[in-house]
Structure 1
Amino acid sequence: MNLNEGRGPVAGVVLAGGLSSRMGKDKALLRLLPLTTAAAAEPLEESADGSMLARAHSLLLSLLPVCFVSCRVDAPRQGYECVFDAVQGVGPTAGLHAALCRAEELGYAAVLALSCDLPFMDTSTLRRLLAARSQAPVTSLVTAYRERLTGRVQALTAIYEVAALPYFSDALAQGQRRLASVVPREFQSFLDYEPEESGPFFNCNTPEDLASAQAMLEHKIHGF
């Protein structure tokens, strides 16, 4: 169900075009396993079935009518509707540009972007973001979460309007990598959250992050 018909429909995109250099393996295809079924020294397994990519894709499709997967031309994601970076080496900025172009072609007004490496993201967090977009000023081109104390913007869990495409085109031309700075701050709206509400934004970039996520999952399931 699309929650933002008033401002125009929203498509989803999972950002899965990174090199995973800090992880040492393709993090999009990793999946968390309970420690009771995996050796402590190797708490995660690679699998296209039940992967972090598959989970993020399912989350978006549970709320939106269509979901793309952003990836590199040399690393397509089989079984998904892919959008490919037109420019290499600028990170998620290129992925968002490709997703916004596809969304515009299909008649969508915006794209809800979600990084593939957020194992604790949930539908309620995404629903609040969609609701915030519906209440944002009509001039707003980005609706994003922001940590209240630090001011850190969660640019990889955010909604980008198709009308922001000129800014993304300029960013690609300039080689700009910092996604949160692509659109001027005066055209961004924020949904603030407290530090204790940061769980859904825990991301897995390194083996240490994954070990922490594994321990968090085990605690959640078994309470120890």
Structure 2
Amino acid sequence: MDRPLKGLVLAGGRSTRMSVSKAEMVWHGKEQQYYLADLLKSCCGDVFISCRREQVNRINPDYQTIPDQYVNAGPLEAILTAFQKYPATAWMVIACDLPLMDLQTLKFLKKERDELKIATVFENQEDGLPEPLIGIWEPESYELLKMYQQKEHLSLRKILIKHGAKIIKAPETDALMNANTPEDAKRIAEVLSEKASFNR
């Protein structure tokens, strides 16, 4: 089919557990939302940062944005808003709380993409469940997302399981480590320091 593939960085969360914006944290010399957008540019055509409406003016104008069209939007609404803007495209989606994400992992995801499934996503290494916020969502998922949003059944993970998404194992499991709390951030910083020491 070879459908167009656009990139979407999910940066609209309120980061309540971290107490500072995860999208604006600097792990690689630039804000995380820009670091991930730049990674996605190597795999996708257009790349957008998904954000709350009040965030738009804080985002570097060199980066395209898609503001949420829903009140109290979560990840489902963020992806749904992207589909409403470009319904015929597939979306490579990545949450901003993945500081160890790398280009190798994104290229592997793109290579393993199954356009006949509603999505291709990674498996969580701890519980074996699909990770909805690092994957490729195909246009066929648009109507499903709309239906579940209207019914207020907002679990992306359940949608992936129920509707037969392709679930793959990440080539480097560290790439899927989340940074949602200060404790997570400390652990991520230690991993990055170890990687930097190893590469010297």
Q: Secondary structure at the match of 1:32?
A: coil
Call closer, same or farther: CA 1:87–1:50 in 2, change over 3 Å. same
Conservation of the 8 A alpha-carbon contact between 2:123 and 2:167: yes
Shift of 1:65: 1.3
Which 4+ stretches in 1 moved above 4 angstroms? Answer: none
Conservation of the 8 A alpha-carbon contact between 2:12 and 2:50: yes
**Residue 93 of structure 2 corresponds to residue 113 of structure 1:** yes
How many residues in Structure 1 have an aligned counterpart in Structure 2? 196
Q: Secondary structure at the match of 1:124?
A: helix
**Alpha-carbon distance in structure 1 between the residues aligned to 2:71 and 2:153:** 11
Summarize deviations over 1:182-219 as a string: whole Å, max 9, x none.
3563331111348xx31000111111111111111111
| Partner of residue 14, structure 1 | 9
One-letter amino acid of the counterpart of residue 130, structure 2 = V
**Alpha-carbon distance in structure 2 between the residues aligned to 1:116 and 1:159:** 15
Instruction: Give 5+ residue unaligned stretches, structure 2.
Output: none
Matching residue within 65, 77, 82 for 1:82: 65
Q: Secondary structure at the match of 2:128?
A: coil
**Alpha-carbon distance in structure 1 between the residues aligned to 2:146 and 2:177:** 29
Percent identity of equivalent pairs = 26
Conservation of the 8 A alpha-carbon contact between 2:98 and 2:177: yes
Call closer, same or farther: CA 1:167–1:205 in 2, change over 3 Å. same
**Alpha-carbon distance in structure 1 between the residues aligned to 2:21 and 2:125:** 32
Call closer, same or farther: CA 1:185–1:192 in 2, change over 3 Å. farther
**Alpha-carbon distance in structure 1 between the residues aligned to 2:161 and 2:182:** 34
The 5-angstrom pairing of residues 187-206 of structure 1 reads 187-193=164-170, 197-206=172-181
Conservation of the 8 A alpha-carbon contact between 2:8 and 2:93: yes
**Residue 24 of structure 2 corresponds to residue 64 of structure 1:** no
Matching residue within 158, 162, 183 for 1:185: 162
Shift of 1:90: 4.4
Q: TM-score, normalised by structure 1?
A: 0.80
Call closer, same or farther: CA 1:221–1:98 in 2, change over 3 Å. same
**Residue 127 of structure 2 corresponds to residue 150 of structure 1:** yes
Instruction: Give 5+ residue unaligned stretches, structure 1.
Output: 1-5, 34-48
Shift of 1:149: 6.5
Q: Secondary structure at the match of 1:53?
A: helix
| Partner of residue 108, structure 2 | 128
One-letter amino acid of the counterpart of residue 69, structure 2 = A
**Alpha-carbon distance in structure 1 between the residues aligned to 2:19 and 2:154:** 21
Conservation of the 8 A alpha-carbon contact between 2:129 and 2:157: no
Call closer, same or farther: CA 1:148–1:117 in 2, change over 3 Å. closer
Matching residue within 125, 128, 146 for 1:169: 146
Conservation of the 8 A alpha-carbon contact between 1:12 and 1:64: yes
Call closer, same or farther: CA 1:173–1:111 in 2, change over 3 Å. same
When Rg is computed on C-alpha atoms for both structures, the one with the higher figure is 1
The 5-angstrom pairing of residues 2-41 of structure 1 reads 6-32=1-27
Q: Secondary structure at the match of 1:182?
A: helix
The 5-angstrom pairing of residues 36-51 of structure 1 reads 50-51=30-31
